[in-house]
Amino acid sequence: MKEAERLQQEKSPEVKRLEEYYNKFNEDKRLLTRHGQVEYLTTMHFIHELAETLMEKRGQESLDILEIGAGTGRYSVALSEEGHRVTAAELSASNLGRLKKKKSSVKAMQRDARNLSGIGDESFDLVLLLGPLYHLHDVADQLKALSEAKRVLRGDGYLLAAYCMNEYSILTYGFWEHHIKEALESGQVDENFHTLADANELYSYVRLSDIDALKDAAGLQRAFIFAADGAANYRRDKLRQLSEEEFALFMRYQLATCRLPELLGASAHTVDVLCKP
């Protein structure tokens, strides 16, 4: 049985909800907004930095890169256009179709982040896990995704694992949008204001302590960790009002501060850069 057929037959209600969501949601458009550009440009900055380190060490001009949960290929296509050999694994058939329509050199396949069957051990220099952990609620499932990413990563390669952060959700959805009282009363949020695993059908929100625990449980080491969008999502209206020159300065600020410990937990998205022991 082909992998795509197997995935179709084994779809859980959670996967079906996720597909319905991404059938309507335009990820490319989000990453082209001002706040989306901050996340994209920051993440690409570190992908390039890591790629250059590996290529210099090996005397190579390109790398084998896997993006798990590639969406419509915003990162994958750009990296393939830079000359890398890119494979994109995506669960949503709709997203996969949009990616393939871009006619890039990306090798695209339908896969669940928790089961990358058909992808060999230690096949990739860089593995990007920039979306799946947003949607996996159970620690066991999160560890499956991290373990699969670790399995296909070469010994000296890097894994970038992205998370949605708890405090951004609590402050924006909870307080600014006036849902915090009902969230506490319904048990969506605990007494320490941590969003509970099953509080949102689509998204999972974590704190730095959760990221640390997952890293350790997966047997991975941290190279560094960064806030992918920092303060950008808190005042999207103000960000849109910046001139191009001011936005360029904001990006300089973002890249200069995105690894500061005091900003990591407050970012909407935080990316853990990991390697094998």
Show pLDDT as tens, one digit a residue, over the chain (277 residues): 455 555 555 556 666 665 665 555 566 677 789 999 999 999 999 999 999 999 999 999 999 999 999 999 999 999 999 999 999 999 999 899 999 999 899 999 999 999 999 999 999 999 999 999 999 999 999 999 999 999 999 999 999 999 999 999 999 999 999 999 999 998 899 999 999 877 677 789 999 999 999 999 999 999 999 999 999 999 999 999 999 999 999 999 999 999 999 999 999 999 999 999 9
Query: What CATH number did the domain enclosing 101 receive?
Result: 3.40.50.150
Q: Is residue 241 part of a domain?
A: yes
Compute CA distances 243 → 8, 157, 239, 248, 257, whole Å.
46, 38, 9, 9, 21
> In whole angstroms, what is the distance from residue 32 CA to residue 159 CA?
24
Tally of domains in the chain: 1
Q: Is residue 176 part of a domain?
A: no
Q: Is residue 156 part of a domain?
A: yes
Q: What is the pLDDT of residues 150-179, one digit of tens each?
A: 999 999 999 999 999 999 999 999 999 999
Q: Is residue 211 part of a domain?
A: yes
Q: 271 is in which domain, residue-wise?
A: 3-165+204-275
Please provide the DSSP assignment of 77-142 as one string: HHHHHTT-EEEEEES-HHHHHHHHHT--S-EEEE-BTTB-TTSPTT-EEEEEE-SHHHH--SHHHH
Q: What tokens appear for 274 in the block?
A: 């990991």
Q: Is residue 184 part of a domain?
A: no
Q: What integer pLDDT is reported at residue 197 of this predicted model?
A: 75
Q: Say if residue 58 is exposed, middle or buried (CB neighbours under 10 Å; 0-12, 13-18, 19+).
A: exposed
The sign of the dihedral angle between the CA atoms of 145, 146, 147, 148 is positive
Q: Is residue 182 part of a domain?
A: no
* pTM for the full predicted model: 0.90
Q: Is 67 helix (H, G, I), strand (E, B) or coil?
A: strand
Q: What integer pLDDT is reported at residue 11 of this predicted model?
A: 59
Q: What integer pLDDT is reported at residue 14 of this predicted model?
A: 62
Q: Is residue 174 part of a domain?
A: no
Residue 237 is which amino acid?
D
> In whole angstroms, what is the distance from residue 67 CA to residue 195 CA?
27
Q: What is the pLDDT of residues 224-235, one digit of tens each?
A: 999 999 999 999
Q: Is residue 161 part of a domain?
A: yes
Strand partners, 121: none
